[in-house]
Homo-oligomer: A and B are copies of this chain.
Amino acid sequence: MHIDLDRHSGITLSEQIRTSIADRIQSGLLQEGEKLPSVRKLSKLLDVSLMTVFHAYELLEQEGLIDRIQGKGTFTLGKSKGSKHRPSQNDSGKPSLDWQNAVVDYLPRAQYWRMMQTPLLDVAKLSMAALHSSLIPTEWISKQFFQYAQLDSTLLTEYGPVQGDSKLRGAVLPYFREKSIAVSPNEIMILNGSQQGIDLVASTFVGPGDCVVLEEPAYPCTIDVLRKRGATVYTIPIDEEGMQVDRLAALCDTRPPKLIYTNPTYQNPTGTVMSARRRAQLLELAQSYNAIILEDDATSDLYFGTKPPPPPIKSMDRHGHVIYLKGISKFISPGCRIGFLIADGTFITRLVSSKGISDLGSPLITQKAILPFFTSNQLQKHLPVLREKLKERRDLVLQILNRMAPKSVQWTKPDGGLNIWLSLPPTMNADDLHTFALKEGISFLPGHVCFPTQQQYHHLRLSFSYLDMHSLERSLITLCRLLQDFTSSDQHSQRMMPM
């Protein structure tokens, strides 16, 4: 268990140790019943005082994450759901693999893996921020696979260029131009989905103790990636105009960040849009403090009004501060695993080098399969229909919530994207609600995974894109009923932390 401590972060060392261990337990990376190092041992290992470790363990115990047994030691209580799915070490009759537990890793948190590990059969997944199959032009894409696989055999025999297929990089220029991003093909890199972009930017530019800033709440997989790099993560709360940039300015004075990650349009998980004014302010701040902005734009194509949202921050970027990510999973197909990264100067050079090291390049065939979206009018035909259908879903959810949700529950009303963010009264715990919901065949995303530090447990994310209309309606009604029971019952309102 490798723990990166940042002695200049303003976050107490006890709190840093607590977060590191809590994340591992909640991700299922530390199994239930695992013995933690003694206070003395850990304090020596981390070069901190006995009191610091003692206090961290105290906090963990208060949260119900560990158990200190007099004379025996400190043990994790864990999330049994996560640990159940670890392969049992003795099921193949092999000798013990216990020595592996002592092998230090650089993987403090893996919430995505944990979420995906839990098998949810016969469950209506309000948890999935992905498109229902009827919203994806499957037939069209299949045809492209067929044509390219048949006609151009080199697709299967050659390593593609590390930076990505040059035809595709050329073909997307008009699409980005429409977003006011003027770019040349050599400033674009093709990724295995935009998640790879987050990982590459972090592994190239972020190291232990580097200061990075996220919105609060934030996309959980970005938190996983930045924690894996040992970064010190600060968060800036969101209001109806997006990230509160004035608060970021205050932080910059004491601790200028190296990287600011933002999801300005239909933010995941809240659905908020950062105003044009804030976008400009954010860019200005990045310029003043030589910071990198990592702009993750998954859903700006999915607007429900008549006008698109404000142009990406990248469109205003003159000095190469913004690295822009555009995945296609949320509006064309998640199955192709394609995303685009836009950067310039030495940033794109360094990121292409990094991509080469990490996988030698993406498959050409999936890149070719989506090429015709950008060389024909297919995207122009597809997007308005998709927006209309998603709006219908959003409207349905809001309508049911308005009608049936208890007064003490609040939610966002996003103008686009895939998600709505619900907040219960602060004394309540969405993880407990989730336990009840699963019993009724419904899943959602418990909001605490969206907080990198000082987790809040009373939020949840509902994605309205993955179910058909009928299941969406039915599960929302059930959820509202559960919410009514839950908020009116006293027994669930005491615990602040998940089991």
Contact = CB atoms under 8 A, between A and B. Distances in A.
Interface stretch (A55-63, A243-251, A328-336, A381-389): A328-336
A160 B333 CA distance: 12
A317 to B, nearest CB: 9
Contacts of A142: 149-150, 153, 156
Which residue, A29, A114, A145, A182, has most C-beta atoms of chain B within 10 A?
A: A145
A155 B366 CA distance: 12
Contacts of A29: 349-350, 353
Contacts of A362: 192, 337
B97 A162 contact: no
A221 interface: yes
A270 interface: no
A375 interface: no
A27 B319 CA distance: 25
A22 B2 CA distance: 30
A290 B27 CA distance: 25
Contact of A149 (B2, B146, B186, B199): B146
A139 interface: yes
A112 interface: yes
A91 B344 CA distance: 11
Contacts of A107: 204, 350, 353-354, 357
A428 interface: no
Given A103-B292, A224-B357, A228-B357, A363 B335 contact: yes
Contacts of A356: 110, 112-113, 116, 221, 224
Interface string A138-181: 11011001100110011111111110000000000000000000
Interface string A200-242: 0001111110000000000001001100100000000000000
A345 interface: yes
A105 B204 contact: yes
A353 B203 CA distance: 16
B337 A157 contact: no
Given A94-B319, A107-B204, A146-B146, 13 more contacts: A29-B353, A89-B344, A97-B347, A103-B205, A116-B161, A138-B153, A145-B145, A192-B359, A193-B360, A221-B356, A225-B357, A335-B365, A336-B363
